[in-house]
Amino acid sequence: MNLSKTKFCIGVQCPKILWLDANARDKFDESVIDKSRIETGLDVGDLARKYFADVSTIPSYLGMSGMLRKTRRLLESETSVIAEAAFRHGGNYCIVDILRKLDDGYEIVEVKSSTEIKPHYLHDMAYQAFVLKSCSIPVKKVSLMLVNNQYVRQGELDLQQMFVIHDCTARVMKLQSEIPAMIAEIERVFVQESEPQCDIGGHCDSPHQCGYKAHCFRGLPKNNVFDIGFSMRAKIKESAYKSGIVSFDNVLNSGIPLTTKQRRQITATLNDSPPHINKTAIREFLDTVKYPLYHLDFETMQSAIPLWDNARPYEQIPTQYSIHIQDKPFAEPTHREFLAEHGSDPRRALAERLCADIPPNSCVIAYNSSFEKMIIRGLAELFPDLSAHLLSFDIIDLAEPFKSGAYYHREMGGSYSIKKVLPALCPPSEYPELDYKSLVIQNGSMAMNAFAENGDKSAVRTALLEYCRLDTFAMVRILGKLYEVVKL
């Protein structure tokens, strides 16, 4: 088989993926492909080349054979820095992001749009070093070039500050002896005539979610060990599965240590139990709610390359918000909203409008409020003249009764995400106006990508406003349900 570095890394995660790619591509779930992450990687890669002086870039339109020939010519002319250098040895080939000439050999520089070293990056670089050494290229150093998320842009991009290079030579060279066996195992599985029997486990989601997961999990019973939520570790689930502990019944009778919330999830599902309601805890939570009450939700954008002054790579930049305001419990809310203009720094305009829409010292409620608190702290730090107003808000977390286990409904499926809590408390059949599936934009990731790509289009802006508005209206209804249950 022809094994690229991408295919090698996929094969290290699970060699069955490559077999399915070749023989059962129709089983692949395209939704796992994060196009924005791919585009970010390309953008960062293009920018990284400008970090180095006198780079000779080999264009991909040459095709593999043309790239190989061009690489040989540049090596023969002792070119200092080559981007996209191509190498092949037998069926193994790779394209090196940056190849730098040293006094006694060459340095591989792998560019990633991440901000931290991840284990699978080391296998990626080890494979490249293996291929180059097989081609008699003396690899003396292997480095990983990452984005520095502590860099704060001021004026023109400072690439020397935006990127950080880590010397990974020792760790990569330590892996060299393992590469031939890994390649052999990948090839062994790939050439099988029938579908390989590779076991399921944590590798189905790490380092990347597999598009064939539904296909490989199809034989599991409904409500199996992998469905247990509330932070049960993947290794515990995988170990239980390999021990034959698969169904909820199996888990409950296995002796596996379970938290109170995990046990509640299992028993509620098996017994079709009514909701678990701790009225005392819920009342204590409701006692923290003060009126008028401002239900708040932000949507944000992220960019690996900071677009404006005083912005960091991957900083969550708020682009819109929705506020539903209630004067008392069960009151029908009034609504306010903000959506930034596309293409300009939204933060000042958003912060000013937020201060106009929410008076100082107001009680603000958010779902998983740590996010809203982070955004507000960031705005307060950026705009000292608005700081006192922004930091005066009393922010409470609507997720708390669900996170703590004070309220649990079996339909929540071991999660306290608003996307699970809302339909459990307000079924779409009874509350069609609260159904996220009816929207064009249905989650935060879609909102982020839509604003970044088409935030200037009226249809997209309408969809963004509808989505954010539902987030806070959902909070109004969830809070109302909490008031109802304590009165039962």
Q: For residue 384, count other CB atoms closer than 10 A to its CB.
A: 8
Percent pLDDT > 70 in the chain is 100
Question: Is the link from the previous residue into 292 a cis peptide, with omega within 30 of 0?
Answer: yes
Residue 202's pLDDT is 87
What single-letter amino acid sits at 270? L
Over residues 35-56, mean pLDDT: 95
**In the predicted model, is pLDDT for residue 488 greater than 70?**
no
For 303-331, what is each residue's pLDDT tens digit?
999 999 999 999 999 999 999 999 999 99
Q: Which residue has the tokens 């399921």?
A: 200
For 191-225, what is each residue's pLDDT tens digit?
999 999 999 998 999 999 999 999 999 999 999 99
- What's the pLDDT band for 170 if we cut at 50, 70, 90? very high
Over residues 463-479, mean pLDDT: 98
Q: Which residue has the tokens 């006198």?
A: 54
Percent pLDDT > 90 in the chain is 98
For 270-308, what is each residue's pLDDT tens digit?
999 999 999 999 999 999 999 999 999 999 999 999 999
pTM of the model: 0.93
Mean pLDDT of the chain: 97
241 — phi, psi (to 5°)? -60, -45
For 80-139, what is each residue's pLDDT tens digit?
999 999 999 999 999 999 999 999 999 999 999 999 999 999 999 999 999 999 999 999
**In the predicted model, is pLDDT for residue 269 greater than 70?**
yes
